Amino acid sequence: MSIGYVPPPPSRFSVLSTSSISSDHFSPTNSSPRFSLASAPSINSTLVGSSKPSQPRQSIYDRPINKTRTAEVSLSAFSFLFSEMIQYTQKRVSGINDLERRLNALGYRVGLRVLELLAWRSESASKAPKRETRFLPALMFVHTQVWRAVFAKQADAIEKSVENPDEYMIVDNDPPLERHISVPRDMSTLSCSSFAAGIVEAVLDGLNFPARVTSHATPTAQYPHRVTILIKLEQEVLAREEVLK
């Protein structure tokens, strides 16, 4: 401790002394030596710390982009983040529809990147990477690959609407996004998986299947958090599918 105390860093010392003089003359005089005493060991320790051969902290940009096994994120940590995202959004909207739209927009930004990343990964992983041009394989890609990359599991079902030929659904029985969320009764129509719907919308958009994607809570007795992601395709997609047949 005495070693660190003998050569006091001049700049720091002067800053300390001038500030204490300018702020108040009448403070007890023992306060300034106590200050330097307290700061001396900390300076010492930082010097020792920096002299050690320490490894540089790996940032997310240094990690290999293709390795997925160790790149998982804690669900707890994400749940807190997602919770804050919802609270933040909720403060800035009027009504449930607006909230869902905003969550969708947030998810859209994630989805764009997910598609980019998956394209990159498939490029390096397989010899003949391909891009889906038909809708059903694209939907399977969302159901399997995208879900596995984002939620570490597959979605549970794909359904086609009986009434409307332009509507498809992805069902998740236990979406990790909503595992810790209990929607209050007065907002029962809200589905926080609008975020996931945004991801789906972005992926489909990126694959050139423009669609409107919404999320709806469809709880069952067995799966209280079950959600259905409803995909309503634009007419041009159906027309193109017709041509490609």
Partner 1 sequence: MAIFGLWIINKAGGLVYQRNFAEGLAPLTSNEYLVLAGTLHGIHAITSRISPAAGSSSGAQVIEGETFKMTIMLTATGTKFVLLTSLAETTADVILQKVYEAYSDAVMKNPFHTPEMPIRSEGFETRVTTVIGIGQS
Residues of this chain that interact with partner 1 (CB under 8 A) are: 76, 79-80, 82-87, 90, 180-184, 187, 192, 224
Backbone φ, ψ for residue 190 (5° rounding): -70, 135
Q: At closest approach, how far in Å is the CB of 103 from partner 1?
A: 11
Q: What is the largest CA-CA distance in the chain?
A: 89
Closer residue to partner 1 in complex, CB, 69/185: 185
Quick check: helix, strand or coil at residue 1? Answer: coil
Q: At closest approach, how far in Å is the CB of 115 from partner 1?
A: 27
Neighbours of 165 (CB within 10 A): 11
Distances (CA, A) of 45 to 11, 34, 39: 18, 18, 10
Closer residue to partner 1 in complex, CB, 85/110: 85
Q: At closest approach, how far in Å is the CB of 88 from partner 1?
A: 9
Adjacent-strand bridge partners of 210 = none
Is the four-CA dihedral 62, 68, 73, 78 of positive or negative sign?
Answer: positive
Q: At closest approach, how far in Å is the CB of 224 from partner 1?
A: 8
Put residue 73 in one of left, alpha, beta given phi > 0 → left and psi -120 to 50 → alpha. beta
Residue 196 near residue 155, CB atoms below 8 Å = no
Closer residue to partner 1 in complex, CB, 47/187: 187
Closer residue to partner 1 in complex, CB, 44/90: 90
Closer residue to partner 1 in complex, CB, 134/180: 180
Q: At closest approach, how far in Å is the CB of 90 from partner 1?
A: 7
Closer residue to partner 1 in complex, CB, 135/172: 172
Closer residue to partner 1 in complex, CB, 49/184: 184
Residue 144 near residue 157, CB atoms below 8 Å = no
Residue 179 near residue 225, CB atoms below 8 Å = yes
Q: At closest approach, how far in Å is the CB of 211 from partner 1?
A: 27
Q: At closest approach, how far in Å is the CB of 188 from partner 1?
A: 11
Cα distance from N-terminal residue to C-terminal residue, the chain: 81
**Nearest-angstrom CA–CA distance, 54 and 103:** 41
